[in-house]
Amino acid sequence: MTGRGWITGTARAAGGSRDFKLWMPATRDKERASPLLMLLPGCTHNAEDTEEISGMNEVAEANRFLVVYPEQSRLSNLLKCWNWFDPKHQEREAGEPSILAEVVAQVRATCKVDPERVYVAGVSAGGAMASILGATYPDIFAAIGIVAGTEFKAATNASEGIAAMAKGGPDPVRQGQLAFEAMRRGLARKNRRRMPVIVFHGTADTRVNPTNADQAIAQWSKTNACLAAEHTESGFALTEKVIAGQVPGGYGFRRHTYAEADGRKLLEKWTVEGLGHAWPGPPIASKFGDPKGPKASAEIWRFFCETALNSAASVTTPDSSHRQSSETTK
């Protein structure tokens, strides 16, 4: 894999196999290890659909990172949804998590990838699976992005999955503890102090209730508190700041940032007023991508760079033109 543009592949693991497409930016430095972002599609979508919905390849070109898009199979789910609600696909070295971990391993085996800067993000069912991957493979993924998704293990069967989409999942504090327990095997391989998470959700989302964004933040706050306690760190607490903003000609939003006592940012939540079940801020309008929202792809990459624990990363944000105001602290 030394060319540019789209590269195709297939990953095989204990849970089966899946095709994937890897975007190789023309701007990458071939002599240096590149960051890698895994972007998980929502239901019915393939790699090209997800790239169009998100506009992530444009951000990758500006910032010299690789993007890999795994594709779900209709043989595994008729709607091509990741099976985030099925216990067979919620564990390490089993089901879809094992396959997605193998996708990363295969890219790393054939490309120069910075192992400290491998990230996962997803939309809808892909966002729910991103949360599962962050818990089951913390030795692989350094941070998580969730767009219109859910907390960790928001459901354990299909009916619970429908209920979680409609009104939210179980108690996020309990799920946060469960996510920490799921991390133990990965943490034994690679010690990780924190798991940064950024969440986007529209207030007009009728497919996945916006309360799921609040639950995802609460769950990962608890999980990070457990990580702090594991490192015998006392007094873990997060300070919330809220910044109201407006996309020129588009939606208003509220950006919530959650930082530790030393000022280090750990979590971030964007609530987009009037946005439906869609990725906010892509260059092109589509059924599941709304340019009137803040540029989620650029902001996700900015957040990953800001929270990188082992890299002095910088970020270039293409055409980032959000207006922000009204900062409050909680």
CATH classification at residue 58:
3.40.50.1820
For residue 33, give the 3-state DSSP assignment: coil
pLDDT, tens digit only, all 330 positions of the chain: 345 689 999 999 988 999 999 999 998 888 899 999 999 999 999 999 999 999 999 999 999 999 999 999 999 999 999 999 999 999 999 999 999 999 999 999 999 999 999 999 999 999 999 999 999 999 999 999 999 999 999 999 999 999 999 999 999 999 999 999 999 999 999 999 999 999 999 999 999 999 999 999 999 999 999 999 998 888 899 999 999 999 999 999 999 999 999 899 999 999 999 999 999 999 999 999 999 999 999 999 999 999 985 333 334 545 544 655 555 555
In the beta sheet, which residues pair with residue 286?
A: 289
pLDDT tens track for 12-53: 998 899 999 999 999 888 889 999 999 999 999 999 999 999
Give residue 100's pLDDT.
Answer: 98
User: Rounded to whole angstroms, how far apart are CA atoms 91 and 179?
Assistant: 10
Give residue 31's pLDDT.
Answer: 83
Give residue 82's pLDDT.
Answer: 97
pLDDT tens track for 111-141: 999 999 999 999 999 999 999 999 999 999 9
User: Rounded to whole angstroms, how far apart are CA atoms 289 and 276?
Assistant: 9
Q: Where are the beta strands (DSSP E) in 106-186?
A: 113-123, 144-147
Give residue 232's pLDDT.
Answer: 87
State phi, psi for 127 to the nearest 5 degrees: -65, -40
Q: What is the mean pLDDT of the chain?
A: 92
Residue 241 contacts residue 328 (beta carbons within 8 Å)? yes
Query: From the centroid of its chain, how far is CA 119?
Result: 7
User: Rounded to whole angstroms, how far apart are CA atoms 11 and 18?
Assistant: 6
3 state SS for 148-172: CCCCCCCCCCHHHHHHHHHHCCCCH
Provide the residue range defining the domain that includes 296. 5-329
Residue 36 contacts residue 114 (beta carbons within 8 Å)? yes
Q: Is the pTM of this model over 0.95?
A: no
Q: How many domains is the chain partitioned into structurally?
A: 1
At 212, which amino acid appears? Answer: N
Give residue 325's pLDDT.
Answer: 52
